[in-house]
């Protein structure tokens, strides 16, 4: 069986090392060593790989885009299925359903759809694969208004942990369909195809931005918090703390991106921010023409390749003093390329999440993306993130899987009932733990999954 597979076995060869980490985005490389790497080009390769793992009594890990900050796909003594060469994009123009393989990136998908007058609200970072992004829920373009990207999954094709190939939807293998929308790396199978409901594209994407010095952090943050919940329904809103190119001081930038089909509609959507923003900006533009391609380029510059990364995040409680809680994070970045993000999630955060594992959200999403160049800065940068998150966690509902590292911090990723159900489904569909699942400290979670509790807060004596 294995002789027919495009498989590279573990050795000290350059070929194996490239297959092990060549597509891992984070250059803070893991030392973990898979037994082998398979680069399938068809579904039968994936089925045969799962059967090979069962025969050898080892585990399977899966890589879609290689963008997991903690490199979840690289697991000791597992067979890694790297889906980089497994590619498919096609559109049913009558229904708007696009079929796409998990390694398809947001840029690939929207470049394809743009020619057909469609788009999909995938990830902001251009080279994130659909597989990890959608399984984690998918905080995509204008998520605050249009909803989570996984809510646009119509169906999936899956190779299960016993090597079967099945189709899953709301009325067929519905347990796995439920789990696929929010399980993240604990999904008990290998998704081979997503069926996604696309939407018509927009002819007038526009953006406005208002940058303030670090000393005006409270002024900028209090302002954006005051206007966001009932802002225009086609406009996403974020606040970012960063060192802009050519500047030696942290700036706080409040950014609005609107999706419209006329200049008049775009101006109307963005005018409220233009009229109400506080004085004192050190940089400012209003209703500037943009596009998905331009936004992807901006995101790529913010998250450059070839650097070392660590990330963490939290959904801040709706009734918390958000400006106060995030002030240290936004004003004390540990490196010139690091940035902190607040992303508005209201009003979608007030809507029930039905028929899916995804069940954790709040009005305020906060994330740290700490970026640096040299290994000798690892401890300092990682400790800064830990110290910030120790103060933030107690004010949070939980966290988003996509910007988490379970080896560092456990917290709540699902509602209580949804977390229990998800892990029950995982044990039912993968009782042997063939699919690696969640990479916690020591990689011991297995079929039991994660505890789904605030780990640090639980250990603090009050």
pLDDT at position 2 is: 45
- How many Å separate Cα 362 from the centre of its chain? 16
Per-residue burial over 398-437, b if 16 or more Cβ lie within 10 Å, else e, is: bbbbbbbbbebbbbbbbbeebbebbbebbeebbeebbbbb
pLDDT at position 13 is: 86
Cα 446 to Cα 131, 182, 422: the distances in Å are 20, 18, 13
pLDDT at position 146 is: 98
Domains defined along the chain, listed by start: 2-85 (3.30.43.10), 89-200 (3.30.465.10), 204-403 (3.40.462.20)
pTM for this entry: 0.96
Regions in the chain scoring below 50 on pLDDT: 1-2, 460-462
pLDDT at position 462 is: 36
Cα 26 to Cα 175, 205, 304, 310, 354: the distances in Å are 33, 31, 10, 8, 34
Contacts of 5 (CB under 8 A, 6+ apart): 38, 40, 45, 48, 49, 52
Residue 313 forms beta bridges with which residues?
367
Tens-digit pLDDT profile for residues 317-345: 999 999 999 999 999 999 999 999 999 99
pLDDT at position 12 is: 74
Whole-angstrom Cα distance, residue 291 to residue 142?
Answer: 14
Peptide linkage before 347 cis (omega within 30 of 0): yes
Strand 339-344's sheet: what is its strand order?
283-290, 204-213, 251-260, 235-242, 339-344, 364-372, 308-316, 396-398
Contacts of 454 (CB under 8 A, 6+ apart): 393, 394, 396, 398, 410, 411, 412
């Amino acid at each position: 069986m294995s002789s027919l597979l495009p498989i590279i076995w573990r050795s000290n060869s350059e070929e194996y090392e490239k297959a092990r980490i060549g597509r891992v985005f984070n250059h803070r490389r893991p030392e973990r060593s898979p037994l082998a790497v398979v680069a399938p080009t068809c579904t039968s390769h994936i089925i045969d790989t799962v059967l090979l793992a069962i025969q050898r009594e080892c585990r399977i890990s899966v890589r879609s885009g290689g963008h997991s900050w903690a490199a979840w796909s690289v697991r000791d003594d597992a067979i890694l299925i790297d889906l980089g060469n497994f590619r498919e994009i096609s559109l049913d123009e009558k229904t708007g359903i696009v079929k796409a393989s998990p390694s398809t990136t947001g840029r690939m998908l929207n470049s394809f759809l743009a020619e057909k007058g469609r788009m999909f609200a995938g990830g902001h970072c251009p080279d994130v694969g659909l597989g990890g992004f959608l399984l984690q829920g998918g905080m995509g373009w204008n998520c605050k208004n249009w909803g989570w990207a996984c809510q646009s999954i119509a169906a999936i094709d899956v190779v299960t942990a016993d090597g079967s190939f099945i189709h899953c939807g709301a009325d067929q293998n519905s347990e796995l369909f439920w789990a696929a929308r929010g399980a993240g790396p604990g999904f008990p199978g290998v998704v081979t195809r997503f069926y996604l409901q696309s939407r018509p594209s927009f002819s007038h994407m526009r953006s406005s931005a208002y940058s303030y010095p670090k000393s005006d952090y409270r002024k900028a943050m209090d302002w954006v918090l005051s206007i966001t919940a009932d802002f225009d329904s086609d406009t996403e809103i974020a606040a970012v703390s960063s060192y802009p190119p050519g500047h030696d001081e942290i700036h706080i930038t409040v950014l609005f991106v609107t999706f419209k089909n006329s200049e008049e509609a775009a101006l109307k959507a963005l005018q409220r921010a233009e009229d109400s923003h506080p004085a004192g900006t050190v940089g400012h533009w209003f209703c500037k023409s943009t596009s998905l391609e331009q936004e992807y380029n901006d995101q790529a510059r913010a998250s450059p390749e070839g650097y070392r990364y660590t990330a963490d995040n939290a959904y801040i409680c709706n009734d918390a003093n958000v400006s106060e809680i995030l002030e240290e994070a936004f004003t004390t970045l540990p490196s010139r390329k690091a940035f902190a993000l607040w992303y508005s999630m209201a009003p979608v955060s007030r809507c029930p999440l039905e028929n899916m594992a995804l069940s954790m959200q709040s009005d305020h999403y906060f994330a740290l993306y700490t970026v640096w160049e040299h290994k000798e800065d690892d401890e300092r940068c990682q400790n800064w993130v830990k110290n910030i998150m120790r103060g933030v966690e107690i004010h949070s509902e939980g966290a988003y899987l996509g910007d988490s590292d379970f080896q560092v911090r456990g917290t709540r990723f699902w509602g209580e009932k949804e977390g229990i159900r998800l892990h029950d489904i995982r044990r039912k569909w993968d009782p042997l733990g063939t699919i690696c699942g969640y990479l916690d400290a020591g990689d011991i979670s297995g079929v039991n999954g994660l505890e789904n509790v605030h780990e640090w807060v639980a250990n603090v004596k009050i």
